[in-house]
């Protein structure tokens, strides 16, 4: 179970007490640079974001759409590595205590050393980890992949998951459940997916862990609609696209803050 001091667990408890929904923002660590990532996270915090997901740059991010794939490529070209991402987080922690989740694939972790990565990430100030290509079934069958207690292990649930699998995944969830609202890869969409309320309700029959919904949310109206059906909303590609377009701007962090603030406000306005 997650430690009582875990920032994700503590923050979601505070949100629940106040009747507020969570706004989770995704960016790729190191895009456009690791130093810029620190400023962007601080801008997201000023905008009212509750949790930041930091993508660990990886050369083969199969679950990501083209926007996030290109962000990972830019970060790698700029020199971002897994150890450097953790070092950046250590620096960030001298400036902010916002809850942080590492959004990653198994390969970078396994290359680093699975157990060592978890301990080093926690020591750097990471609160949670979401491994996109690590099915819970594999964890159950491989002792070396067992979760470590320092981090909340975020679970993904897809819209095609049958009820028994939803129950199995949800029971092992920590921090929050990330419900993927549509099939395919990440990326902003013109319309939100259907069936979100029903799927969230089904997940909630199996766990008390908060449920956040993502994949495709790109504007305040969509954010409010999705958040009204869950405990929170995740926005990623729309923010990453802004970073892509304005990566060389000296006021990049302020631009991100200005873009995200109305999305956060739409979510926080929900009673």
CA distance 233 to 181: 10
Three-state secondary-structure class, residue 70: helix
Strand-pair partners of 233: 23, 213
Distance of CA 217 to the CA centre of its chain: 13
Q: Say what the alpha-carbon torsion angle 8, 9, 14, 19 is, to the nearest 10 degrees.
A: 90
CB 29 within 8 A of CB 56: yes
73 given a catalytic annotation: no
DSSP string, 157-205: E-TT--HHHHHHHHHT--S-EEEE-SSSS----SSPPSSHHHHHHHHHT
* Active-site residue, selected from the candidate residues 39, 64, 120, 257: 64
* Active-site residue, selected from the candidate residues 31, 39, 50, 53: 53
CB 86 within 8 A of CB 54: no
CA distance 100 to 78: 22
CA distance 180 to 185: 10
64 given a catalytic annotation: yes
CA distance 136 to 127: 19
For the chain, the straight-line distance linking the first and the last C-alpha, in angstroms and rounded, comes to 30
Which of the residues are catalytic? Answer: 53, 64
């Amino acid at each position: 179970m997650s430690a009582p001091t875990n920032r994700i667990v503590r923050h979601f408890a505070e949100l629940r007490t106040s009747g507020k929904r969570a706004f989770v923002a995704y960016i790729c660590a190191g895009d456009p640079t690791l130093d810029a990532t620190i400023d962007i996270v601080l801008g997201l915090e000023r905008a009212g974001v509750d949790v930041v997901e930091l993508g660990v740059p990886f050369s083969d991010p199969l679950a990501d759409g083209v926007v996030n794939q290109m962000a990972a490529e830019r970060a790698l070209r700029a020199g971002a590595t897994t150890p450097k991402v953790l070092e950046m987080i250590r620096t960030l922690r001298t400036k902010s205590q916002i809850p942080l989740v590492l959004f990653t694939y198994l390969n970078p972790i396994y290359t680093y050393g699975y157990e060592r990565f978890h301990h080093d990430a926690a020591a750097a100030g990471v609160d949670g980890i979401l491994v996109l290509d690590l099915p819970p079934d594999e964890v159950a069958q491989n002792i070396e992949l067992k979760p470590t207690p320092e981090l909340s292990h975020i679970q993904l649930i897809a819209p095609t998951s049958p009820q028994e699998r939803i129950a199995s995944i949800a029971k092992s969830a920590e921090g929050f459940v990330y419900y993927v609202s549509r099939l395919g890869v990440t990326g902003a969409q013109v319309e939100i997916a259907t069936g979100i309320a029903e799927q969230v309700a089904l997940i909630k029959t199996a766990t008390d862990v908060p449920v956040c919904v993502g994949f495709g949310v790109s504007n305040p109206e969509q954010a409010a609609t999705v958040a009204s059906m869950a405990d929170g909303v995740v926005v990623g590609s729309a923010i990453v696209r802004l970073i892509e377009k304005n990566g060389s701007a000296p006021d990049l962090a302020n631009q991100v803050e200005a873009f995200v603030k109305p999305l956060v406000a739409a979510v926080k306005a929900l009673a």
